[in-house]
Copies of this chain bind each other. A is one copy, B any other.
Amino acid sequence: MYDFAAELADCALAVETALDRHLDPERLSGPGPAAERVVAAMRHGSLNGGKRLRPLLVRQAANVFGVPSSRALIAGLAVEAVHCYSLIHDDLPAMDDDDTRRGRPTVHRAYDEATAILAGDGLLTHAFALLAGEQCHPDPTVRIALVTELAAGSGVGGMVGGQMRDIEGEAGGFSRAEIEVMQAMKTGALIRASVRIGALLGNADARALSALTAYAEAAGRAFQLADDILDVTATSETLGKTAGKDAESGKQTLVGELGLEGARAELDQIVNSAVMALRTFGPRADGLRATARYFANRSH
């Protein structure tokens, strides 16, 4: 019987431990001196007890093809490094201007803006170093496919482009279709890349990759919609960040468009379609199924 809570905890611990080992000033600075301040800021922005949902998706997708979790860890770290860099840059005064994240000062608050910009740049760069290393996967052809996938998910056609559209959308006037496209880029693209990276680690064929991509796109929509619902219903304390911020800043969300009940009904439908996309995979995909449900039901 698959135990989601156990896997979530095991994955989070594995990621935290491995990030701690990798984000080491001596290890990262290579032949030069340890750039201690920027590495300390990178650690502050990533060793923070996050749920590590993207590395979880990498390993669950890899598990579908029989790849052991330990062989999916490095690729998971790379995706998590990209996620953490995006949070550090998004929190900057010029972007969302957030002072706290997970109950601790944001990186630019704990250090300063210049250090936070560089820490984000350092994490993004390190993500590609992780994917390129032999430890990630023995076959360079697979590693190159991972680099391509991560760059596509995190670049202008994905996360960076979505963040830009989100800022543009704050002025208001986005249609429901435009909101969905923006969210698919900002949040969905990295979730999609995580699942596809897991599948690529397992040498998935085109048909399996396509099914997992459909799963990932639905899971990403569920994640974002649940986030928007939480922004309306949760308190700042359970959320670990400032609640109600989206509405306050005039940010476009689907809850504003559909209403709370409409959004909840839509969320159920999306989770069903995510699970349906996995129908050919049997019990090896139970992890991915549980994660899609978790995305919809989480309380923070």
Chain A residues with CB under 8 Å of chain B are 28-33, 35, 37-39, 42, 85, 89, 92, 94-95, 112-115, 117-118, 120-122, 124-126, 128-129, 131-133, 140-141, 143-144, 147-148, 150-152, 154-158, 160-165, 167-168, 181, 184-185, 189
Contacts and interface: CB of A to CB of B under 8 A. Distances in A.
A29 B125 contact: no
Nearest to A133: B148
Nearest to A121: B160
B94 A112 contact: yes
B140 A144 contact: yes
A38 B166 CA distance: 12
B94 A156 contact: no
A152 B30 contact: yes
Nearest to A129: B151
Given A94-B112, A94-B117, A125-B151, A157 B89 contact: no
Specify how many copies of this chain sit in the oligomer: 2
A165 B129 contact: no
A150 B143 CA distance: 15
A152 B129 contact: yes
A211 to B, nearest CB: 17
A164 B38 contact: yes
B151 A33 contact: no
A114 B89 CA distance: 9
A161 B115 CA distance: 10
A181 to B, nearest CB: 6
Contacts of A126: 151, 155-156
Contacts of A128: 128, 147, 150-151
A160 B95 contact: no
B147 A28 contact: no
Contact of A125 (B38, B92, B124): B124
A37 B147 CA distance: 25
Nearest to A164: B38
